[in-house]
């Protein structure tokens, strides 16, 4: 996968907009960052729940690694794009969106009454 793939898939999620964070493209929903793209390093850093982080890291340890320190303990996770499959990227972006998006938006997206 490439940075362009990340951009395209992230923009498919409800109300996601692209911005910039520390000179890198980022993706936001409800004013909060769900992921930051590090184009030159071919990786994306995603905001996951600690449970989702653990599941992704356990399932694909060559692709997913928690950030060091407190950021990683809060769920921020590196995803190496070089060998990442589209389905894995889609799943990870959706998990990041779900934890970041306002609860009412998540409920509407999942088809539940708000």
Domains of the chain by residue range: 3-109
The string of DSSP letters for 61-85 reads TTTEEEPSHHHHHTTEEEEE-TT--
Prediction pTM value = 0.94
Please compute the mean of the pLDDT values over residues 72-84 and round it to a whole number. 97
The per-residue pLDDT for range 21-65, each reduced to its tens digit, is 788 999 999 999 999 999 999 999 999 999 999 999 999 999 999
Percent of the chain whose pLDDT exceeds 70:
97
**Residue 5 tokens, joined:** 């793939």
Pairing of strands 76-80, 32-38: unpaired
Among the listed ranges 6-10, 17-21, 97-101, which one has the minimum average pLDDT value?
A: 17-21
Maximum alpha-carbon separation in the chain: 42
Q: Which CATH number fits domain 3-109: 3.40.50.300, 1.10.238.10, 3.90.1150.30, 3.40.50.2000?
A: 3.90.1150.30
Report the pLDDT value the prediction gives residue 110, as an integer from 0 to 100: 83
């Amino acid at each position: 996968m490439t940075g362009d793939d990340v951009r395209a898939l992230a923009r498919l999620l409800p109300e996601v907009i692209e911005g910039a964070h520390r000179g890198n493209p980022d993706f936001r929903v409800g004013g909060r960052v769900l992921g930051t793209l590090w184009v030159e390093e071919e990786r994306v850093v995603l905001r996951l729940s600690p449970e989702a982080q653990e599941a992704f890291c356990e399932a694909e340890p060559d692709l997913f690694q928690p950030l060091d320190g407190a950021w990683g303990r809060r769920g921020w996770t590196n995803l190496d794009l070089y060998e990442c499959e589209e389905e894995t990227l889609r799943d990870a972006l959706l998990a990041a969106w779900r934890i970041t998006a306002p609860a009412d938006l998540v409920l509407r997206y999942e088809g539940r009454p708000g």
